Chain A
Amino acid sequence: MEKFSNEVWVFVEQRSGKPAEVSFELLSKGRKLAEILKGTLKAVVIGSEMHKVARQTFQYGAKECLLVDHPELKDYKTVPYSRVMIELVSKYIPRVVLYGASFIGRDLAPRVASYTRSGLTADCTDLQISDLTYLRKDYKDLLLQIRPAFGGNIIATIITPDVPIQMATVREGVMENVPLDTAVKGKIVEIPYTPDKIDKMINIIEKYQEENKVNLKSAPIIVAGGYGMGSKENFGVLHELAHVIGGEVAGSRAAVDAGFIPHERQVGQTGVTVRPKLYVACGISGAIQHRAGMQNSNKIIAINNDPEAPIFDVCHYGIVGNVMDVIPDFIEAYKHKLK
Chain B
Amino acid sequence: MSYRSIVLVKQVPDTANISGQVMKPDGTVNRAMLPAIFNPEDKVALELALQTRDKFGGEVIALTMGPPKASELLRECLYMGADKVILISDRKFAGADTLATSYVLSEAIKKIGSFDMIFAGRQAIDGDTAQVGPQTAEKLELPQVTYTEKIVDINKNKITIRRRIDGGHEVLESPLPLLITVIKDAAIPRPFRATRVMAYKNARSLVELEKMVEGNSLLYIEDLKDEYIAKSLFIETLTMDELSVEAERCGLQGSPTKVYKIDSVVLGGGKHIKIEPTKEGLGQLVDKLMVDHIFG
Give A contacts to B, CB under 8 Å: 15, 78-79, 82, 102-104, 106-107, 109-111, 113-115, 117-123, 132, 134, 144-145, 148-163, 198, 201-212, 221, 245, 270, 277-278, 288, 298-299, 301-303, 310, 312-322, 325-326, 329-330, 332-334, 336-338
Asked if A334 and B294 make an inter-chain contact with CB atoms under 8 angstroms apart, the answer reads: no
List B60-81 residues whose CB lies under 8 Å from chain A.
none
B57 CB-CB contact with A under 8 Å: no
Please name all residues of chain B whose beta carbon is closer than 8 Å to the beta carbon of A155 when the two chains form the complex.
262-265
Q: For A145, give the chain B residue with the smallest CB separation.
A: B257
B35 CB-CB contact with A under 8 Å: no
Please name all residues of chain B whose beta carbon is closer than 8 Å to the beta carbon of A79 when the two chains form the complex.
143
Please name all residues of chain A whose beta carbon is closer than 8 Å to the beta carbon of B296 when the two chains form the complex.
338
Please name all residues of chain B whose beta carbon is closer than 8 Å to the beta carbon of A338 when the two chains form the complex.
286, 290, 295-296
B165 CB-CB contact with A under 8 Å: yes
CB distance from B231 to the nearest CB of A (A): 39
In the complex, A333→B262 CA distance in Å? 44
Task: Count how many pairs of residues, one from A and one from B, have CB atoms less than 8 Å apart in the complex.
Answer: 243
Given contacts A107-B147, A245-B295, A325-B277, 13 further A-B contacts (CB under 8 A): A110-B98, A113-B135, A115-B138, A122-B128, A201-B174, A302-B272, A317-B285, A319-B274, A320-B274, A321-B277, A326-B282, A333-B285, A337-B295
In the complex, A329→B294 CA distance in Å? 18
Please name all residues of chain B whose beta carbon is closer than 8 Å to the beta carbon of A145 when the two chains form the complex.
257
Q: How many interface residues does B have (CB within 8 Å)? A: 80
Q: For A165, give the chain B residue with the smallest CB separation.
A: B256
Asked if A132 and B260 make an inter-chain contact with CB atoms under 8 angstroms apart, the answer reads: yes
Asked if B256 and A160 make an inter-chain contact with CB atoms under 8 angstroms apart, the answer reads: yes
CB distance from A87 to the nearest CB of B (A): 14
CB distance from A203 to the nearest CB of B (A): 5
Shortest Cβ-Cβ A-B pairs, 6 listed: A321-B277, A151-B15, A209-B168, A119-B256, A110-B134, A114-B135
Asked if A206 and B170 make an inter-chain contact with CB atoms under 8 angstroms apart, the answer reads: yes
Asked if B257 and A121 make an inter-chain contact with CB atoms under 8 angstroms apart, the answer reads: yes
Please name all residues of chain B whose beta carbon is closer than 8 Å to the beta carbon of A204 when the two chains form the complex.
170-172
Query: A78-B144, A114-B102, A157-B261 in contact; A107/B277 too (CB < 8 A)?
Result: no
Contact of B168 among A134, A153, A208 (CB under 8 A): A208
In the complex, A338→B287 CA distance in Å? 10
CB distance from A315 to the nearest CB of B (A): 5
Contact of A278 among B131, B270, B281, B289 (CB under 8 A): B289
Please name all residues of chain B whose beta carbon is closer than 8 Å to the beta carbon of A303 when the two chains form the complex.
277
Q: Is the interface of A mostly helix, strand, loop or mixed?
A: mixed
Contact bitstring B251-282, A, C-beta under 8 A = 1, else 0: 00000111111111101111011111111011
Asked if A107 and B134 make an inter-chain contact with CB atoms under 8 angstroms apart, the answer reads: yes
In the complex, 5 of the A-B residue pairs with CB atoms within 8 angstroms, ordered by the A residue number, are A151-B16, A154-B265, A210-B167, A210-B168, A313-B268
Asked if B143 and A117 make an inter-chain contact with CB atoms under 8 angstroms apart, the answer reads: no
Contact of B259 among A113, A118, A156, A310 (CB under 8 A): A156
Asked if A317 and B272 make an inter-chain contact with CB atoms under 8 angstroms apart, the answer reads: yes
Query: A134-B258, A157-B263, A318-B274 in contact; A332/B279 too (CB < 8 A)?
Result: yes
Asked if B257 and A160 make an inter-chain contact with CB atoms under 8 angstroms apart, the answer reads: yes
Please name all residues of chain A whose beta carbon is closer than 8 Å to the beta carbon of B259 when the two chains form the complex.
156-158
B169 CB-CB contact with A under 8 Å: yes
Please name all residues of chain B whose beta carbon is closer than 8 Å to the beta carbon of A103 when the two chains form the complex.
146-147, 164-166
Asked if B264 and A153 make an inter-chain contact with CB atoms under 8 angstroms apart, the answer reads: yes
Asked if B166 and A209 make an inter-chain contact with CB atoms under 8 angstroms apart, the answer reads: yes
With most chain A CB atoms within 10 A of its CB, the pick from B260, B267, B278 is B260
Q: For B165, give the chain A residue with the smallest CB separation.
A: A103
Asked if A208 and B169 make an inter-chain contact with CB atoms under 8 angstroms apart, the answer reads: yes
Q: For A130, give the chain B residue with the smallest CB separation.
A: B260
Asked if B135 and A299 make an inter-chain contact with CB atoms under 8 angstroms apart, the answer reads: no
Asked if B143 and A78 make an inter-chain contact with CB atoms under 8 angstroms apart, the answer reads: yes
Asked if A106 and B130 make an inter-chain contact with CB atoms under 8 angstroms apart, the answer reads: yes
CB distance from A110 to the nearest CB of B (A): 4
B18 CB-CB contact with A under 8 Å: yes
Asked if A114 and B138 make an inter-chain contact with CB atoms under 8 angstroms apart, the answer reads: yes
Asked if A107 and B169 make an inter-chain contact with CB atoms under 8 angstroms apart, the answer reads: no
Asked if A111 and B172 make an inter-chain contact with CB atoms under 8 angstroms apart, the answer reads: no
Asked if A159 and B262 make an inter-chain contact with CB atoms under 8 angstroms apart, the answer reads: no
Asked if B260 and A134 make an inter-chain contact with CB atoms under 8 angstroms apart, the answer reads: yes
Asked if A205 and B286 make an inter-chain contact with CB atoms under 8 angstroms apart, the answer reads: no
Asked if B166 and A104 make an inter-chain contact with CB atoms under 8 angstroms apart, the answer reads: yes
Q: For A108, give the chain B residue with the smallest CB separation.
A: B134
List B1-53 residues whose CB lies under 8 Å from chain A.
13, 15-16, 18, 22-23, 27, 29
Please name all residues of chain A whose beta carbon is closer than 8 Å to the beta carbon of B167 when the two chains form the complex.
209-212
Contact bitstring B107-142, A, C-beta under 8 A = 1, else 0: 000000000000000000111111111110111000
Asked if A201 and B256 make an inter-chain contact with CB atoms under 8 angstroms apart, the answer reads: no
Asked if B173 and A203 make an inter-chain contact with CB atoms under 8 angstroms apart, the answer reads: yes
Asked if B126 and A114 make an inter-chain contact with CB atoms under 8 angstroms apart, the answer reads: no
Query: A207-B168, A313-B267 in contact; A320/B277 too (CB < 8 A)?
Result: yes
Please name all residues of chain A whose beta carbon is closer than 8 Å to the beta carbon of B250 when the two chains form the complex.
none
Q: For B16, give the chain A residue with the smallest CB separation.
A: A151
In the complex, A303→B290 CA distance in Å? 19
Asked if A316 and B272 make an inter-chain contact with CB atoms under 8 angstroms apart, the answer reads: yes
Contact of B272 among A277, A318, A334 (CB under 8 A): A318
Q: For B26, give the chain A residue with the smallest CB separation.
A: A135
Please name all residues of chain A whose beta carbon is closer than 8 Å to the beta carbon of B160 when the two chains form the complex.
205
CB distance from A104 to the nearest CB of B (A): 7
List B167-224 residues whose CB lies under 8 Å from chain A.
167-175, 178
Query: A330-B285, A338-B296 in contact; A120/B131 too (CB < 8 A)?
Result: yes
B288 CB-CB contact with A under 8 Å: yes
